[in-house]
């Protein structure tokens, strides 16, 4: 199966709820060693003793907490994560932390990195992309994960990808044209206007196409902030991993966490 970016279903009042699990590779990529690889805890058999519902709730809460720290540009520690997020369930920390780190990277484009050998972690944009910093509204959830997917699709299509192929791939991940997405908003506007205006994507008509067809290419800002070499390494590492399911917090839940902190 493909890596998924399935967002949460909306309540009748318009606020997104915690969704069904999304599909994510079993290990995140990072240049060098990741928090998952360097953390002082190792995976344990506690995962087997948890119900899926209980595990999903713990992972969603930790993802929510990590995203709040990312927005606030604050580090976190093993002790803070265990005491604040897990409380009396600290014995499940290894598996919850591992899955939360993977989900934050692959869905939201946020990389959790360990500071040297200390149990301190910082959150940085995946692959150097700063699109969420540019938008800087403080609202909604990070969207860099979707940009990573789109840039990867372009790279795999020999540096230019027909628009219809992009939407075909994204639809399999629950991101569809003209359908409001709880995390990414209206995706067509994001791809053809917002990220074009910011310089991450180039959206142009295919030469001599009649009727007119359009294609996506990397924009100048994508080349300035990252590289094809980094993306190639990312794809090789991700594609070698098994896939598993993870839950997501809602944008509303993240805002409530920030207001309460």
**Domains of the chain and any CATH numbers:** 22-126+241-260 (1.10.10.1200), 131-234 (1.10.10.1210)
CB 166 within 8 A of CB 150: yes
Which pLDDT score is estimated for 198?
A: 94
Q: Residue range 162-175: average pLDDT?
A: 90
Q: Residue range 173-184: average pLDDT?
A: 83
Instruction: Using the CB atoms, write b or e for 136-166: b if 16+ within 10 Å.
Output: eeeeebbbbbbbbbbbbbbbebeeebebeeb
30 pLDDT band, cuts 50/70/90, is: very low
What percent of the chain lies above the pLDDT cut of 70? 68
85 pLDDT band, cuts 50/70/90, is: very high
CB atoms within 10 A of CB 18: 18
Greatest distance between any 2 Cα atoms in the chain: 64
CB 83 within 8 A of CB 121: no
Which pLDDT score is estimated for 116?
A: 82
The residue assigned the tokens 């590492």 is: 237
Q: Residue range 201-211: average pLDDT?
A: 93
222 pLDDT band, cuts 50/70/90, is: very high
Q: Is the pLDDT of residue 177 over 70?
A: yes
Quote the CA–CA distance of 82 and 207 in Å, as a whole number.
Answer: 56
176 pLDDT band, cuts 50/70/90, is: confident
Cα first-last separation, the chain:
38
Q: What is the mean pLDDT of the chain?
A: 75
């Amino acid at each position: 199966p493909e890596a998924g970016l399935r967002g949460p279903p909306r309540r009748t009042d318009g606020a997104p709820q915690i969704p069904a699990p999304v599909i994510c590779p079993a290990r995140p990529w990072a240049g060098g060693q990741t928090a998952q690889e360097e953390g002082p805890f190792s995976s344990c058999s506690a995962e087997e003793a948890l119900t899926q519902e209980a595990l999903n709730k713990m992972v969603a809460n930790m993802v929510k907490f990590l995203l709040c720290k990312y927005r606030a540009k604050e580090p976190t520690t093993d002790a803070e994560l265990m005491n604040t997020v897990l409380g009396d369930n600290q014995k499940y920390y290894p598996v919850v932390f591992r899955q939360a780190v993977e989900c934050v990277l692959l869905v939201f484009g946020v990389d959790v990195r360990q500071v040297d050998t200390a149990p301190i972690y910082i959150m940085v944009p995946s692959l150097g992309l700063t699109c969420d910093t540019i938008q800087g509204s403080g609202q909604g959830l990070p969207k860099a994960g979707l940009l990573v997917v789109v840039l990867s699709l372009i790279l795999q299509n020999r540096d230019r990808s027909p628009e219809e192929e992009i939407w075909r791939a994204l639809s399999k991940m629950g991101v569809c044209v003209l359908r409001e997405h709880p995390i990414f908003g209206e995706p067509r506007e994001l791809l053809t206007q917002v990220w074009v205006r910011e310089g991450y994507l180039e959206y142009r008509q295919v030469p001599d196409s009649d009727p007119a067809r359009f294609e996506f290419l990397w924009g100048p800002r994508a080349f300035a902030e990252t590289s094809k070499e980094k993306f190639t390494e990312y794809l090789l590492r991700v594609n070698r991993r098994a896939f598993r399911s993870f839950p997501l917090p809602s944008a509303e839940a993240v805002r409530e966490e920030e207001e309460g902190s």
